[in-house]
Structure formats: C-alpha cells, structure tokens
Amino acid sequence: MLAEDMNELFGIYSTDKKLPRKNLISLLQSIFDSASEIECESLCDSLLNRKDVDLSMPQFKIIWDNFLEPVLKPVSAFVIVDVQNDFISGSLALTNCPAQEDGAEVVPVINRLLTSTPFSHVFYTYDWHPRNHISFHSNLKLHKSRLLSPQPDNWESVSMFDRVQFDGKPPLEQTMWPDHCIQGTDGAKLHKELKFIEGGLEIYKGFNHSVDSYSAFWDNGEVSATGLLNELNSRNVTDVYVCGLATDICVNFTATHACKHNFRVILVEDACRGVDTAAIAQTKEKLSDLGALIRTSDTILPLVKGEEIPIKLAMVAADNFRRKFAATLLST
C-alpha cells in the first residue's frame, strides 16, 4: 500500500479533485495487494452500489472513516468459548464423544495466542447452567409437560443424547445432555491451565433453566441476549476470532451469530475441538460460506495487526458499509 493517510491517498489517486471508479479500483489494489483486479472491481461495486460515480473528497471521507480505516486498523476480539472442565475431563468430556477429540489440547494453543498476539479485547465464555436446566437428561421428568416430540407420556423413552422438541415460539429442538457446567461447580470452571489475562471479560450463557444457549450471543430461541453483542459494539470491534469447545456446537453457533451480526469472523481451527467429525467439517464449510476465514493459530498475527487484509474479509466489510452508508454516500 502506498499510504495510510486519507488526504495523501486521495491526492495520489484523484483527478481534478474527483476520484473516478477506475482510480478507486487502483487504490484498492494498492491496499489489497494479493487481490486480483476483478476482485477489486467487485469490491468497488459493493462499496458504491453503482458503477458511474466519481467520488468527491467528502464522499471519499465517508469511505475512509467507515470502510478503509476500520479495515486497515482492525479492532479485534478473541472469543474463547467454554474451555471448561466438564468438556475436558468431566461429565461431557469430548474424549467420550464420537470424534474422540481432546479438549485439553486447545489450552496451550490459546495460551500461546494470548501471549503472542495483540488482540484488542479477550472474552471468555461459560456454559452456566442451573441444576434444573432443561438440557439435562436427568431433568426430563421436570420438563416433560413441555414435550412436543415425543409426547409427554412417552418421556421415559428418551435416552441420553436423543433429540427432543419442546414447546416454544418457535418450538425448540434440544439434545438431552448429561448434567454439565452447573453454576458454581468445579465442572463449570475454566481449565486450570488456561491463561486468564488481565482485562479479560466473562460472558455467561445457558443460565435460564427453560432454554439452552449454545451461542455466546443468544439463547437457542434467539430471544434473550447474553450481552456479548453490546460489549463488542461498545468497543467498536470489527474482527471476531473464535476458538474453544465444541467446534460443531457452541463454537459453531457463536461464530455463526458473529457472521450474522456483520463482524468479520476468523475461526482459529487448531484452537478448537469438537464432538462429531462430520459435523465439524460441516461447521467449517458453513462458516466459510457465511464469509468467515478458517485459519490456524500460526497465521493470524498479520491479520490482527492489520498487515494482511484478505479480500474475503474486505468484502464482508464492504457489504456492511453498503448497508449502512450507501445512501449517505450518494446524497453527499
């Protein structure tokens, strides 16, 4: 890239105090130097939502403030999902699940990232269930009146790990799990070797006894928020790095909601472990389709520092810009 100053960039690429589309494409190519001209043309069209426009300096400032500067100077959040004892060595240990992955293996990877990578903010999430939680197979008798499938009088036919359907708006499917991550117990604690950094923020989910919460953003009915979205927005976070347990469940739902809330999302795949091999692969494919990057921990430092700007993440940012600022841009 030739410059990071707005006025300097405009001066280099403008003609007669206007920035023609072709010059904006050249500017984008100078910034996203790994992107092709076709990709930068697509990015330009996504930003402008039209082809026949020459930008004035006030219009370029809107793009600079709301697209280029956030892309060049990202604000990152490292969201560490549910690295808790019960998923590692307790009642719902991943080693006992079909994929037989070891949740403890994420701890040194995450610790290394916390030590070596300058994330703007770090969040630790907790599954945080009351003893009478609806997801526990042991509590099914307590909640049988809410069953839609099977019928309430057949509740005893439900086995551990079966999926049932409870009433709700909409009705909610629920896997019946062993008791896990009960509030205040050792099983709900973070793994003892996981580094907790100064200033780390904690997010609790699944504390409503009547609905589960796989996502660190919302309960499974998307009715009650955990507070994570407000925390990210209040800190002007642009990029969300997601890792933890389990890849195909709580990491999956958290990263999916981060995409849907228009953050640029990076799944740190070697800092995740999951339940089912096929579901893990499906999770990665789905997140990639939603615009997320799938990266290993040794490749993310340049992303966090803004030294590498993949065109895929730039397109996410451009789509967000168009939704929020296209009308303002063209009326300026």
User: Which candidate in 205, 212, 248, 259 is catalytic?
Assistant: 205
User: Which candidate in 250, 259, 272, 284 is catalytic?
Assistant: 250
- 8 A C-beta contact, residue 158 and residue 181: no
Active site annotation includes 272: no
Query: How many residues comprise the chain?
Result: 332
Non-local (6+) Cβ contacts of 179 within 8 A are 91, 131, 136, 138
**Cα–Cα distances in angstroms (integers) from residue 142 to residues 54, 145, 155, 208, in the given order:** 65, 8, 10, 15
Active site annotation includes 276: no
Report the alpha-carbon distance of residue 127 to residue 145 in Å, rounded.
25
- 8 A C-beta contact, residue 217 and residue 257: yes
DSSP 3-state percent helix, strand, coil across the chain (nearest 5): 45, 20, 35
Active site annotation includes 102: no
Question: What's the Rg (C-alpha) of the chain?
Answer: 23
- 8 A C-beta contact, residue 175 and residue 163: yes
DSSP string, 201-267: EEEEE--STTS---SSSB-TTS-SB-SHHHHHHHTT--EEEEEEE-IIIIIHHHHHHHHHTT-EEEE
Which residue type is seen at 123? F
User: Which candidate in 40, 82, 239, 272 is catalytic?
Assistant: 82
Q: Which residues are catalytic?
A: 82, 205, 250
